[in-house]
Structure formats: structure tokens, C-alpha cells
Amino acid sequence: MTSIAATPKPEAQSPDPAGTIFTVILAISFCHMLNDMMQSLLPAIYPDLKAKFGLTFGQVGVITLAYQITASLLQPLIGLYADKRPTPLALPGGTLFTLAGLMVLSIAHAYPLLLLGACLLGVGSSVFHPESSRVARMAAGPRPGLAQSLFQVGGNAGSALGPLIAALVVMRWGQGSLAALALLALVSCAILWNVSVWYKHHGLNRLITGARKISKSQLPPQKALTGIVILLVLIFSKYVYLASITNYFTFYLIEHFGVSVQQAQLRLFVFLAAVAVGTIAGGPLGDRFGRKYVIWFSILGTLPFTLLLPHVDLFWTGPLTVIIGLTLASAFPAIVVFAQELVPGKIGMISGLFFGFSFGMGGLGAAALGFLADRTSLDTVYGLCAFLPAIAVVAAFLPKTID
């Protein structure tokens, strides 16, 4: 440590110690892609597991519940612990839970082992998201929105790649091929080891300095709490609507327009690509114009298009879903950074809370909408979900922060 300070090597340092460290952000984003890709393998192989083990839909739902509980509820707790006792090695260490989860799933021969594998995957996600979001904030410098967008787009890409990898590899070579895919966790572990070294020696100082700057204009606790609650309501609106598309859009297209499975999957991929592009845009726009305005526009701005979607023909369904994906996805980076600025000393807890809550709302929303579709129809689901973006009117009550 002392020798590094005594013999600096400018060529190995960032030219601006307070600037944005893109190498760290891109490394975290790449690992986010690997993490979410491995996580998304679980739901992608449900049809194979259901057939192989003779599972009911209820048992499949319990597997999802086991994953969601560990992936959602643990995140804010792990983030809160890391706020009090920063643990850089948690980043590479967390990937070992994902590795173990996929290995267990690859050899599982009984239902309890499937549940164990799902729980281990969830723990890996719980460790990764709050700590990696913290690192993105550390490396952000004056552009926290851009850093959060780049970090999150890696996860979006991984979620989109998971089903594709499952179709190309797992469906062809079977359940055992998950063991080979689990080795990707070792790649992630190696990269995150280097990130954790930067975290330990440079990142903490940058985070403390940034928190001090924000704390000079920190809001009273009651206003900050009000802001957090409003942001969580917006997360509910966004992720329940996204659940309606990601889980049931292909069924809607097949049932409503009579398209083939392949055509429906292609249209879903186009929507997910739009979500990825929107995620990239949301953070930088928040840095430039203010996060409150981006949040307001991103969610409420989709309302005219979500209201139109259930009533248009197949031709117009495509452009509308692209616009919805682009616009709606831009909210999350701005929401996370806004929340971090409301409570500047609790980056890990806030990141874990919002990632965990988004996971939970996505899972609960999918289950509730599925139950509603069984009792009514998918047309009813999309007719009701069309009004969810209207909840964004509560963004008008967000407190003013330093952005």
C-alpha cells in the first residue's frame, strides 16, 4: 500500500482520480451479463424439468418461489451488512453460490435437490447485485446514471441470452450440460477478483468522498423515506407491466393473432432488445436533465402506448412494444441512482432493496397475472395492465435532490 503511494505510476492510473472508471464499470457489466444469463437458465429449463420429474405447475411455482425468496429478500440484508462492513471479496465469493447452484441442478435426481439448486442460485444473485451496484457507483465519478445504465444493460443482455443458451445447449445435451455452463461462474469469479482489489484500494475512498458531497444537502429522514416509498411504487408499476410482456406476450400473440411460436418469440426478442437500449439511455439522460424528469417521462410517457396496445392489429403491435420497451426501461437506472442520493450512506442496502423488490414484483406479478389469465383471458390481462403506467403520477411528489 505505502510503496504504491510512494512510487506512483501515472500511466497505470486514471488521469482523473475523480472521473469515471470505465474499465471497472464494463467489467462489472460483463459479469452482470454472465450472472443473469446463468440465473435465467432456471426458468428456461422448466419444461424439461417438468417432463423429466413429472412436476405439477404448482411444484414448478414452488421452485420459482424458492429462487425468488433467496434472490429478493436477502438482497437488502446483504447490502445493509456490506454498508456497515464493506466486504470486497463478497463479489467473487458470491459467484461460487451460482456455480454450486448450477452444479446441483445438473445432477439433481429428486425434487428437493431442485429446490436446493434454486436457493443457491438465489443466494448468488443476492450477493452479486447490491455489491456490484455499489462498485458501479464507486467507479461512476460525476456520471452515476451512465454507470448504472451500463451496469444494468449487462443484466438485460444476460437475461435475454439465457433462454437462447438453454435452447441451444441444455435442450440438446440435457440437464447435465448445466455443469459445463456453470464454469462460466469461474470466469466471472476471476474478473470480480480483480474488481475487488480495485474496490479495496481505491473504490471505498471514492464512495466515501461522493457520499460526503451528497450528504451536505441530504434531505430530512421523513422526506427521504417518502421518496423511497414513491420510488418503490413506481418499481411496482414498471415491473408488473414488464412481467405481463416477458411472461405472456408470446401466448397473447399466438392466441390473439394466430402467429407461430417462432414468430412470437422473435417479437419478444425485439421487445427485450428495446428494453436493453432503453436501459442504456436512461442513466445518461438522468445525469443531463435530472432523474426526476426521466422517471416521470419514462413511466407515465408509456401510458398512451400501453392503452393502445390491446386494440391494434399485428402490424402496429410491433412498433408499440418497441416504444414501450425503450421508454419504460429507461426508468430503472434513474430510479436506483435517485434512491442512492436520497440515502447516500446506504448504497448497498438501497441497491439491494430496489433490485430485490424488482425481482419480487416481477415474480409475484407474473403469478398474479397468470392466475387472472386462467380465470378470465389474456385480453383482460393486457386491458388491465395498460393502466399500470398511470401510477407514475405519484412521481410528481418526489422530493428534490441534488441532481
| The pLDDT of residue 217 is above 60 | no
In whole angstroms, what is the distance from residue 157 CA to residue 153 CA?
A: 6
In whole angstroms, what is the distance from residue 286 CA to residue 402 CA?
A: 12
- Name the phi and psi angles at 25, rounded to 5: -60, -45
Angle 144-165/111-140 helices, nearest 10 degrees? 150
Q: What DSSP designation does 176 have?
A: G
Percent of the chain whose predicted confidence (pLDDT) is above 70: 90
In whole angstroms, what is the distance from residue 264 CA to residue 261 CA?
A: 5
**Residue type for 105, please?**
L
User: What pLDDT, on the 0 to 100 scale, is given for residue 11?
Assistant: 37
- Torsion sign (Cα): 387, 350, 290, 19: negative
List, for residues 37-71, the tens digit of each pLDDT value: 888 888 777 777 877 888 776 777 788 778 878 88
**For the residues of 291-329, what is the DSSP string, one character each?**
HHHHHHHHHHTTHHHHHHGGGS-HHHHHHHHHHHHHHHH
Return the SS3 of 259: coil
Question: What's the pLDDT band for 267 if we cut at 50, 70, 90?
Answer: confident
- Pick from 198-207, 327-336, 343-352: least confident: 198-207
How many CB atoms lie under 10 A from the CB of residue 37? Answer: 25
**Whole-number mean pLDDT of the chain?**
82
Confidence (pTM): 0.74
Of 284, 305, 303, 309, the closest CA to residue 294 belongs to: 284
CB 121 within 8 A of CB 71: yes
In whole angstroms, what is the distance from residue 148 CA to residue 336 CA?
A: 8
In whole angstroms, what is the distance from residue 311 CA to residue 327 CA?
A: 20
- Taken in order of first residue, the domains within the chain and their CATH numbers are 18-216 (1.20.1250.20), 218-403 (1.20.1250.20)
Question: Which residues, at least 6 apart from 132, have a Cβ–Cβ distance to it below 8 Å?
Answer: 28, 31, 32, 91, 151, 192
